[in-house]
Amino acid sequence: MHHLIPKLMPIGITEALSSRFPSELGQEPSRCAPPGRAEHADLTELKSVVESTLIRTMALANSSRRLSRHVGLGIVSAEDHSNYILHREELEILSPRACRRKQIEFATGRAAAHVALKQLANAFPVLRDHKGEPLWPEGIVGSITHCYPWSVAVAIKGPNLFTVGVDLETTERMKGTDITELVCSNTELDWVRGGNLQERLTMIFSAKEAVYKAFYPLCRRYIDFKDVELTWVPAQSCFHGRFLAPFGPNLPRGQVCAVHCHSYTELVFSCVIHSRGKVGMHQTPGSWLTRST
Ligand SMILES: CC(C)(COP(=O)(O)OP(=O)(O)OC[C@H]1O[C@@H](n2cnc3c(N)ncnc32)[C@H](O)[C@@H]1OP(=O)(O)O)[C@@H](O)C(=O)NCCC(=O)NCCS
């Protein structure tokens, strides 16, 4: 579902945030997570990892879509947020109760979305539904992720042929709290424990969040971490994710999708691109979407 395009009322992010929210960046003793190692990442390196993962995802999807022409990518750092403008309608989405980190993440995420959109169309506001799903202009699908200080957005010109989910995580986030039981099946746990535990757990977690972002817009219901089981396929450098429950007429139990996942330094980037019209039809080895029984 796409929103009606409201009138464009761009406003500087710094100006907007400082008039709407009293504290300055960094002044508030944040209740959000402290900065992680993601801050040490370099833009060129991050861009190269994200671009190569996107290209691999599109190649395995047998997609004729091309980066820049049909697929827009935006990567924005919180440090650069003052260089971008927000639409007033986007600003109105943001809760004034959100902590400063969340405010900045939202602003950089929308800035990344505008960068991605501008490669494909005009700069439209990207609003969101009551469950958090970003609402893109007609004929465009996309996904946004934040891993402070970075925000990444990917937009694909459809029209409505695809759905996409991206996620960027830092392995730092896995320290302190043990989420293995919450996130992993027994089979996934075996894989996680067979290597670098923190890295592999981050990969599983990130891949599943990308799956959620890609498929939520199609089924509009919560997908639990245990509803999809991931198997790492080294030959394709990706996970095969199998649905353990049905999520709608076009998303039956046993559906398999490819989740590309690239881990470097302390960061993990995951990406799912799903062709809406071809569920269950591709059975070839190179296919990114098959149906297992
Ligand atoms: C929604 C969720 C996936 C977001 O992931 P996160 O790591 O917390 O945060 P990220 O920064 O990576 O992503 C946030 C972005 O996700 C997007 N998003 C949020 N809810 C969404 C939804 N229902 N559908 C699609 N995208 C959504 C938004 O664009 C949001 O950014 P914004 O608020 O600035 O627009 C996560 O909070 C969640 O609820 N996970 C539980 C469900 C799950 O992952 N199940 C696994 C199924 S296998």
pLDDT of residue 7: 32
pLDDT of residue 276: 75
The answer, yes or no, to whether any atom of ligand 1 lies below 6 A from the CB of 101, is no
Look up residue 147 and give its two tokens. Answer: 């891993």
Nearest to 103, CA basis, from 30, 40, 49: 30
In the chain, what's the furthest Cα-to-Cα distance?
56
**For the chain, percent helix, then strand, then coil, each to nearest 5?**
35, 25, 35
Closest ligand 1 atom, CA of 151?
A: 11
pLDDT of residue 277: 63
Please name the residue whose Cα sits nearest to atom 13 of ligand 1.
145
Q: Which fold has domain 169-287?
A: Ribosomal Protein L22; Chain A (3.90.470)
Give 36's pLDDT tier (boundaries 50, 70, 90): low
pLDDT of residue 142: 96
Nearest to 108, CA basis, from 92, 125, 85: 85
Closest ligand 1 atom, CA of 131?
A: 23
Is 255 a residue whose pLDDT tops 70? yes
Question: Beta 127-128 vs 71-77: how paired, if at all?
Answer: unpaired
Give 28's pLDDT tier (boundaries 50, 70, 90): very low
Is 125 a residue whose pLDDT tops 70? yes
Please name the residue whose Cα sits nearest to atom 8 of ligand 1.
209
The answer, yes or no, to whether any atom of ligand 1 lies below 6 A from the CB of 225, is yes
DSSP string, 125-148: --EE-TTS-EEPPTTEEEEEEEET
Residue-wise pLDDT for 59-117, tens only, equals 877 667 777 678 999 999 999 877 888 899 998 998 888 888 888 999 999 999 999 99
Give 162's pLDDT tier (boundaries 50, 70, 90): confident
Q: Please choose from 50, 152, 206, 213 the residue to mutate so as to test ligand 1's pocket, defined by most ligand atoms within 8 A of CB.
A: 213
Please name the residue whose Cα sits nearest to atom 10 of ligand 1.
145
The answer, yes or no, to whether any atom of ligand 1 lies below 6 A from the CB of 213, is yes
Give 37's pLDDT tier (boundaries 50, 70, 90): low
Residue-wise pLDDT for 136-156, tens only, equals 999 999 999 999 999 999 999
Is residue 218 a contact partner of residue 248, using CB atoms and an 8 Å limit?
A: yes
The answer, yes or no, to whether any atom of ligand 1 lies below 6 A from the CB of 167, is yes
Is residue 211 a contact partner of residue 227, using CB atoms and an 8 Å limit?
A: no
The answer, yes or no, to whether any atom of ligand 1 lies below 6 A from the CB of 215, is no
Closest ligand 1 atom, CA of 223?
A: 47
Is residue 105 a contact partner of residue 149, using CB atoms and an 8 Å limit?
A: no
2-159 and 169-287: same fold?
yes
Is 283 a residue whose pLDDT tops 60? no
Domain ranges for the chain: 2-159, 169-287
The answer, yes or no, to whether any atom of ligand 1 lies below 6 A from the CB of 188, is no
Average pLDDT over residues 14-21: 42
Closest ligand 1 atom, CA of 214?
A: 25
pLDDT of residue 161: 79
pLDDT of residue 177: 80
Q: Which residues contact 56 (CB under 8 A, 6 or more apart)?
A: 237, 238, 260
CATH 1.20.81.30 fits 2-159, yes or no: no
Residue-wise pLDDT for 39-69, tens only, equals 667 899 999 999 999 998 888 776 677 776 7
